[in-house]
Chain A
Amino acid sequence: AQTVTQSQPEMSVQEAETVTLSCTYDTSESNYYLFWYKQPPSRQMILVIRQEAYKQQNATENRFSVNFQKAAKSFSLKISDSQLGDTAMYFCAPGSSNYGGATNKLIFGTGTLLAVQP
């Protein structure tokens, strides 16, 4: 079974600074996607960024980028120029292609609560 570890329950960063959220996971699969989701106080789950495991190039999406280390099974999220609107819970979620059958689903970490301070 897949496991996901987010070792930082809470983090704080000053506005305009950079912060990195860590995530490690365990999987026996060779091809998969990984995702970071954001959950602001509104409770809505919002996709932040995705990474394809077979691609060596790290994904970027505006101020958000990942550091994907496949061999180490590490998938960290870097937020540059942090904004007040980035305050949210962030979840790491590797996609699984083989869970009790040919299906795809996400396994979520326990989340990191990020507070951006003015």
Chain B
Amino acid sequence: NAGVTQTPKFQVLKTGQSMTLQCAQDMNHNSMYWYRQDPGMGLRLIYYSASEGTTDKGEVPNGYNVSRLNKREFSLRLESAAPSQTSVYFCASSPRGGGLGRMNTEAFFGQGTRLTVV
């Protein structure tokens, strides 16, 4: 009964370092998402993948890249970390991949990754 699994749960990086946040879901969902959560800002969408093989930018994509490795996995990469990327990162997945009439976009979330860039 894993759902959405994110690794790592905590990470401290130095400015300029790179790292990849991993996300995997076992619910056979089509869509996957990366959000960041900052105080007073709510959750903001970084990138999303409507289906395997596709990725698109969200509200705040600068400084990030993503890979939809297969249907289960969606990774987020910081090529050169900056202090402004200090945040809590959430991966989510949802069953629907698009098309009018398929509106049940309930998202299932991982437990989050707290990333600090110093």
Instruction: Please give the residue numbers on chain A whose beta carbons come within 8 Å of chain B beta carbons, in ascending order.
Output: 4, 6, 9, 31-33, 35, 43-45, 47, 50, 52, 91, 95-98, 100-111
Looking at chain B's contact residues, the main secondary structure is loop
Nearest chain-B residue to A105 (Cβ)? B48
Segment 87-107 of B: residues with Cβ below 8 Å from A:
88, 90, 92, 94, 96-107
Question: A45 vs B93: C-alpha distance in the bound complex, in angstroms?
Answer: 12
Question: A102 vs B54: C-alpha distance in the bound complex, in angstroms?
Answer: 12
The reply to whether B45 and A107 contact each other, CB–CB distance below 8 Å, is yes
Q: Among B13-21, B35-43, B71-79, which stretch is in contact with chain A? A: B35-43
The contact size tier of chain B is 20 to 34
Contact of B31 with A by CB under 8 A:
yes
The reply to whether A100 and B42 contact each other, CB–CB distance below 8 Å, is no
The 5 tightest CB contacts between A and B, nearest first, are A102-B98, A95-B105, A103-B50, A45-B109, A104-B105
Can you name 14 A-B residue pairings with CB atoms under 8 Å?
Answer: A35-B105, A35-B106, A43-B112, A52-B103, A97-B99, A97-B102, A101-B50, A102-B50, A104-B50, A104-B103, A105-B31, A105-B48, A106-B105, A110-B41
The reply to whether A104 and B102 contact each other, CB–CB distance below 8 Å, is yes
Q: Which residues of B contact A109 (CB under 8 A)?
A: 42
**Minimum C-beta distance from A51 to chain B (A):** 11
The reply to whether B98 and A103 contact each other, CB–CB distance below 8 Å, is yes
The reply to whether B103 and A31 contact each other, CB–CB distance below 8 Å, is yes
**Minimum C-beta distance from A44 to chain B (A):** 6
Q: Which residues of B contact A106 (CB under 8 A)?
A: 33, 92, 105, 107
Q: Which residues of B contact A6 (CB under 8 A)?
A: 42
Instruction: Please give the residue numbers on chain B whose beta carbons come within 8 Å of chain A beta carbons, in ascending order.
Output: 31, 33, 35, 40-45, 48, 50, 56-58, 88, 90, 92, 94, 96-107, 109, 111-112
**Minimum C-beta distance from B61 to chain A (A):** 11
Question: A35 vs B105: C-alpha distance in the bound complex, in angstroms?
Answer: 9
Question: A71 vs B56: C-alpha distance in the bound complex, in angstroms?
Answer: 31
The reply to whether B42 and A91 contact each other, CB–CB distance below 8 Å, is yes
Question: A95 vs B95: C-alpha distance in the bound complex, in angstroms?
Answer: 13
Nearest chain-A residue to B58 (Cβ)? A105
Question: A104 vs B98: C-alpha distance in the bound complex, in angstroms?
Answer: 6
